[in-house]
Amino acid sequence: MKSTYNKVMDDLRGKSLKELLNIFAQLQLPQYKAKETFRQIHHGLKGTIDQISILKKEERALLAEKYQLDQPQVIKHQHEGETEKIAFKLSDNLVIESVLMQYEGERNTVCVSSQVGCPVACQFCATGQMGFKRNLTVGEILSQIYYFATKHKISNVVFMGMGEPLLNYKNVMKAIGILNQELGQNIAKRKIVISTIGITEGIKKLMTETGQLRLAWSLVASFDHLRKELIGMKNLPSISSIVRAIHDYQQKTKRRVTIEYVLLKGINDGPEAINELAEITRKIDSHVNIIPYNEVAGGRFSSGDAERIYEKLKRRRVNVTTRQSLGKKISAACGQLTTK
Ligand code: SF4
C-alpha cells in the first residue's frame, strides 16, 4: 500500500474514542458519526479517510484537511509454515518488523514492535544491535496488528518485537486501550503480554492500569554482573530492585509473571546460574519460560540445552515451560528481528 503521509497531518488511527468525539464536536460533525468512524477504523480496518462510508464527501474532506490515516508500507513479506514476518516502512523511511504466529488454528498471535531499534541493547538480540531510533506512535503500533487482522482474527498480542515497551509506555498503553475497545478489535487485556527487561518505573505504573494485562520479565541472567555484561543499557535496574517492583505489582494485581530466560550456552546455563534462577522464582509468583537462543547473523552465542535445564528446574519444583521457536528460518523468532 502506498504511504500518503504528510508530517503536518495528525494520524486518526492513534485517537481514542473520546478524542475522536472531541474532534467531531470541534468540526461540528455529528457525534454518532464519530463512533461509527471509530468502528470503521478499528474494526472495519479502513485504510484511508475516503473509505469511511458513514461520512458524506464534504465531511470526509473537512476531516482530511487536518487528519489522515497513516498507512505504513509493506516492503517485505516472508513465510515459514504458520509464521509470517512483515517489514513495514514508516512515514520517515525507518523500517520495523512484526510477526504473526498461528498455533494450530487455536490462536493467532501478533508479535508487535513498540520502538524502532531498541535502547536496551541486549548483545544476543539483532534489534539490540541496531541502536535506538525512536518510539513508535500509537497508530504505528496499531497498524502492525491491523495488517494481520485484515486476513485473520487476532486473538493475542505480545509486545515482544522490536523495542522495550515500557520505555514507550504512553503510546503502548493507549494502543492497548484501543485494541481492547468493543468497537475495535475487542482483544481482552489478559490476551496481551508486555515483555520488559525490567524497567521498574514502568512496572510501578502498570500497577495502576485496569484489566488483566500480562507481564513477562526478560531476566537474561540470574546474576547482576552477568546481566550487565549481556545488556548494554546504562542504569540497568538491579535484579533485587526488579523483584521488589514485581512484588509490589503482584500485591496489587495478584497476577502471575512470566520470567523469560534466553538460554546462552556456556554463559547463563551453568549450575550456579540455574540455582540462582530457581531462587529468584521463589521470591515472586512466577513461571519460567526457557527460550532456546535463536542465532543471528554474526552473533557469538549459541543455545544451551533447553531440555536439560527444563529437567533441572522441574526437579527444583519450579513452574517451567520451554518456548517453541517459530520462524527461525525467516529470522522471525525471538531476538532475530532487525532491519539491518
Ligand atoms: S531482547 Fe528485547 S529488550 Fe533486548 S535489545 Fe532485543 S528488543 Fe531490546
H/E segment holding residue 176: helix 169-179
Q: Are residues 131 and 148 in the same domain?
A: yes
With CA atoms as reference, report the closest residue to 208 among 158, 255, 252: 252
The domain in which residue 299 lies consists of 73-322
CA dist., res. 124 & res. 70, Å (int): 33
Catalytic residues: 97, 334
Is residue 86 within 8 Å of 97, Cβ to Cβ? yes
Cell of 153: 482474527
Ligand 1 centroid–CA 316 distance in Å is 29
Is 1 inside a domain boundary?
no
Amino acid at 170: K
Whether the pLDDT of residue 126 is over 90: the answer is no
What is the per-residue pLDDT for 111?
Answer: 97
- Cβ–ligand 1 distance for 121 under 6 Å, the answer yes
Whether the pLDDT of residue 7 is over 60: the answer is no
Cell of 283: 521470591
Ligand 1 centroid–CA 231 distance in Å is 9
Share of the chain above pLDDT 70, in %: 92
Ligand 1 centroid–CA 126 distance in Å is 8
- Cβ–ligand 1 distance for 198 under 6 Å, the answer no
What is the per-residue pLDDT for 4?
Answer: 42
Could you tell me the pLDDT band of residue 34, with boundaries at 50, 70 and 90?
very high
- Cβ–ligand 1 distance for 167 under 6 Å, the answer no
Number of Cβ within 10 Å of residue 4's Cβ equals 15
Could you tell me the pLDDT band of residue 1, with boundaries at 50, 70 and 90?
very low
Indicate the range of 21-25, 310-314, 326-330 predicted with least confidence.
326-330
Tally of domains within the chain: 2
- Cβ–ligand 1 distance for 197 under 6 Å, the answer yes
- Mean pLDDT for 156-178 is 98
Is 336 inside a domain boundary?
no
- Cβ–ligand 1 distance for 127 under 6 Å, the answer yes
Among 50, 68, 86, which residue terminates a domain? 68
Is residue 294 within 8 Å of 302, Cβ to Cβ? no
Ligand 1 centroid–CA 166 distance in Å is 12
Is 335 inside a domain boundary?
no
Tell me whether residue 134 is exposed, middle or buried, using C-beta atoms within 10 angstroms of its C-beta: 0 to 12, 13 to 18, 19 or more: middle
Cell of 326: 517459530
- Cβ–ligand 1 distance for 47 under 6 Å, the answer no
Q: Facing residues of 90 across strands? A: none
Amino acid at 93: N
Q: Which atom belonging to ligand 1 lies closest to the Cα atom of 163? A: 7
Cell of 69: 490515516
CA dist., res. 119 & res. 115, Å (int): 9
Is residue 78 within 8 Å of 330, Cβ to Cβ? yes
Q: Are residues 175 and 32 in the same domain?
A: no
What is the per-residue pLDDT for 328?
Answer: 66
Whether the pLDDT of residue 5 is over 70: the answer is no
The CATH code of the domain that includes 46 is 1.10.150.530
Q: Are residues 269 and 296 in the same domain?
A: yes
Task: Work out the angle at residue 46's Cα, subtended by the Cα atoms of residues 41 and 50, and round it to the nearest 5 degrees.
Answer: 105
Determine the residue of 115, 197, 262, 296 to mutate for testing ligand 1's pocket, defined as the one with the most ligand atoms within 8 A of the Cβ atom. Answer: 197
Is residue 284 within 8 Å of 278, Cβ to Cβ? no
The 10s digit of each residue's pLDDT in 61-74 is 999 999 999 889 99
Could you tell me the pLDDT band of residue 296, with boundaries at 50, 70 and 90?
confident
Determine the residue of 111, 118, 196, 334 to mutate for testing ligand 1's pocket, defined as the one with the most ligand atoms within 8 A of the Cβ atom. Answer: 118
Q: Are residues 62 and 83 in the same domain?
A: no
What three-state secondary structure class fits 133? Answer: strand
Is 104 inside a domain boundary?
yes
What is the per-residue pLDDT for 326?
Answer: 67
Q: Are residues 177 and 314 in the same domain?
A: yes
- Mean pLDDT for 243-258 is 96
What is the per-residue pLDDT for 2?
Answer: 40
Ligand 1 centroid–CA 160 distance in Å is 8
